Structure 1
């Protein structure tokens, strides 16, 4: 079981850079990179909310469950 993080897909669709998302969300590039590469063990709802707001999307657009 795995949770896949699709931030790269959302960034590409919105033609936004990781740097720009990092600035809008207010998290460091390294923390965003850890999340985007699926290495994060947890994500705060406030961070997820900020990402969704910046990317104008739903949490399900970013997080996906795959067996």
Structure 2
């Protein structure tokens, strides 16, 4: 069975291109200066955690869940 992590890596970006972080490096505010870097690091770690979680789920598991939902609706 194919782990769901393979699909996750294909469709989700490990880089935070899709997120907009406020702040600017030119600001005198330390938080504004570092916001983009820190949030990008958080996003990278979030990606790694989710990828690891999906390694334990296969496409077959998803199919079984779908079939069981249909079975439970009929019972």
Provide TM-score, normalisation by structure 1. Answer: 0.29
Higher helix share: 2
**More strand, by proportion:** 1
Question: Which structure ranks higher in relative contact order (CA pairs < 8 Å, sequence separation ≥ 6)?
Answer: 1
